[in-house]
Amino acid sequence: MNRELRAAVPAMCLLVLLTGCYRIDSPQPNTVASFKVDIAGIYSVAAGTRTAVPVVSACAFRYGGAASVPAGVKGTQECPYQIVRGDVDIDITATALTRSGEPTTDFNGYVAWKAVPGALTGDYDKRWATAIAGQVSGTLRVAHLYGEVRIWAEDAPVALTYFDGGLGGTIGLLPPDMLNGDSVVQPENLTRTYASGISPIIYFDEPTLQKLQLPEVDNRGSPFEGEFITVGKEEGSREQLLQSCSDDPANDGKEAMMVVTGTDQSGFFVTDITACKVKENIFTNALKFIDEPSGFMPGTFGSMYVYNYSHPEGLAKGDLLFTLAGAVQEFTSTTQLTFPSWSVKERVFRLPEAEQDKYLKQVPIPDLNGRICGVSNNPFLTDEMCGHSARYFKIESLESALVRLPNVRFPERFKECDFNGDGNVPFFCEHTRDMPMFWGTCDFSGAAEPANEVAERQCNIDCVTGQGEHQGKRCAEQATFVGFGQFPVEMNAPGLASARLDDSLTMRFSEFPVTAISGQAPLAPTPPSFVLACNVDVRWKSGTAPVVAGPADTLLKANTPLYSDWGSLGAIAVITAGAATAQAKCSIAENPRIKINLVTKDAIPELKPFCSEDDADAERAAQCKMLRAATFDVVGHLRHVQPARPRWTVIPRGPDDLCCHPGPGLACPRPIRTCPQP
């Protein structure tokens, strides 16, 4: 640049400043840029009472008991809190900060709370608080806290809740600037800075399959529904997922062991074999009918179905998993993981054949009985539908687990109730407020129904419950079987355990001694459906009282149940067929005919429950006769199917999950093996 040009530059700049330039002020910082969030207390809330959230049992043991754990270590990585069933109150204090991180007294406004992870459960007054001169304190009510939890404070509108197509919660408890009379100001019309801050990490226990499943209200949902959750620790991690079992010392501190119990065309079932036993008395508002003798639930809530949308290639029954992850979802009230992923700790097919069941044989397979199904000591309408009540948790504790059905009987007939051919038959609900109680429509509004639906529903009721033309018969609705493959089977009747009957409901059967002198069974007049069994060979006779049995009357072999489904026989007399012993006894009971659904079409397609003893093909007719005369022991996974009647379904994995006790003079239907003798 020459000397003349250099001299002209200042003058040119002065001219530009005087004619075309203007001043731009620097933006002023907002009064609040973030928050410092501190936790003042964490409490479990039940019936309006707040109690300190307990820490995991390992930490409590380390300090010599829960009462001795120092406050400063609670909620740390070394001493996490337990996952709490129900609501948790978290007392919070927060300080508004400037951009430079200094406290400010200029902020006065409404601060919203939230927890991640966690679900807000309280009304609006438990979701925000007022800041005065930069200081704010309040209480957040939340549930489903697990893992690494952070509490947020935010200069933002309170998130609105919705219920039944409209706003939920108490509108008057919203911050004042969100209210315009009786109307709610939408968040987009509010002026907020959206400045936010988070608390230090609060450590809660890690989720297990059991903790995902433990219900809070009823058996139709998971408390973690909608959450994406990982259970377990990856290979190579220095951490392990350990059980925290305050009521179960045997499993406390054990590593969680997730065993694949079966696969199907859409996914697989898994059970945590070290899951804690669960005390029955934690379900204070649940229907229990009859307490468990042990004080613990029959299952651990430690099983789950994993919906993979296809067969899980490379995964085998008996494999042990490191981790399992996915979104928690309810399908027909069965909790499942969707969009899943998993990592395998041990593939059992790589082991010698004799060792491939090393984990599978540790999976408990309890018998499903009347007590677990929710049958009451006094006859009730819903007794015949296993696990019908939504507030009954004993059967829920076994959802997706392997269970055994001893001594079940298959349908004798199939009835087509789909009169209009649309593939659907209306299901039915209980009406227990009217007397006598009855099964009827599930629309309790009183609205008129189409005549066809009324007829189809009544047909379905009569068939499944054994009423009307099906009195005393085991009936399955045909359209339901064709559409879903499910059919009801009649479960084990009450009576002597030695006869393979259900002794879980002692008030539902009567025991009586049997001698060489004829005695009358204590159930007269006998009901239309009863079962008699004795632990010795006996002769029996029925008729109008008084009845006397003798050596020429009908023989009933020891521990062989006699089912009567053909109407009242009057009184029944019994006498020993051989020498009497002091321990000789019989049991007699009205058969509640408890029903549960079974699906065999995928596991055992050769088995044909929909058959006819009058089939023109002699072999098919013979197989049908064998099937209907036999009783079966069935193992399978238990699933909840809320719209079905009955609502619970057992799904065997293959032919080996069934065995048969043949009818008199008959064999087992193909391909079912004969059950081993006890």
The chain-wide mean pLDDT, for the chain, equals 90
pLDDT at 318: 96
pLDDT at 13: 44
607 shares a domain with 555: no
Per-residue pLDDT tens digits for 521-541:
987 666 778 899 999 999 999
> Is it the case that residue 565 has pLDDT exceeding 90?
no
With beta carbons less than 8 A apart as the criterion, state whether 473 and 395 touch.
no
Region 374-398: mean pLDDT is 91
> Is it the case that residue 333 has pLDDT exceeding 70?
yes
> Is it the case that residue 4 has pLDDT exceeding 60?
no
pLDDT at 24: 46
576 shares a domain with 456: no
H helices present in 195-235, as ranges:
209-213
pLDDT at 1: 47
How far apart, in Å, are the Cα atoms of 290 and each of 25, 469, 488, 506, 678? Answer: 78, 34, 25, 10, 28
pLDDT at 566: 61
Is residue 80 situated within a structural domain?
A: yes
Region 12-36: mean pLDDT is 57
506 shares a domain with 470: no
548 shares a domain with 462: no
pLDDT at 567: 65
Region 326-330: mean pLDDT is 94
> Is it the case that residue 499 has pLDDT exceeding 60?
yes
Per-residue pLDDT tens digits for 336-367:
999 999 999 999 999 999 999 999 999 999 99
> Is it the case that residue 414 has pLDDT exceeding 90?
yes
User: Tell me, what CATH number does 576's domain have?
Assistant: 2.60.120
Region 323-337: mean pLDDT is 94
pLDDT at 16: 42
- Taking the C-alpha atoms of residue 253 and residue 316, their distance in angstroms, rounded to an integer, is 27
Is residue 213 situated within a structural domain?
A: yes
- Its domain, for residue 307, covers 209-366
Cα 265 to chain centroid, rounded: 22
Is residue 18 situated within a structural domain?
A: no
Per-residue pLDDT tens digits for 293-308:
899 999 999 999 999 9
289 shares a domain with 239: yes
Q: Which residues contact 303 (CB under 8 A, 6 or more apart)?
A: 209, 213, 261, 269, 270, 271, 272, 398, 399, 400, 401, 402, 637
480 shares a domain with 357: no
* Strand partners of residue 585: 513
- Taking the C-alpha atoms of residue 52 and residue 253, their distance in angstroms, rounded to an integer, is 22
pTM over 0.85: yes
Q: Per-residue confidence at 657, pLDDT binned at 50, 70, 90?
A: very high
Would you report the helix, strand and coil content of the chain in percent, each value rounded to 5?
Answer: 15, 35, 50
Maximum mean pLDDT: which of 198-212, 227-241, 557-571: 198-212
256 shares a domain with 332: yes
Residue that terminates a domain, selected from 590, 613, 637? 590
pLDDT at 182: 82
- Taking the C-alpha atoms of residue 265 and residue 308, their distance in angstroms, rounded to an integer, is 9
Q: Per-residue confidence at 17, pLDDT binned at 50, 70, 90?
A: very low
- Taking the C-alpha atoms of residue 287 and residue 293, their distance in angstroms, rounded to an integer, is 16
> Is it the case that residue 5 has pLDDT exceeding 80?
no
* Strand partners of residue 81: 55, 204
Lowest mean pLDDT among 203-212, 235-244, 471-480: 235-244
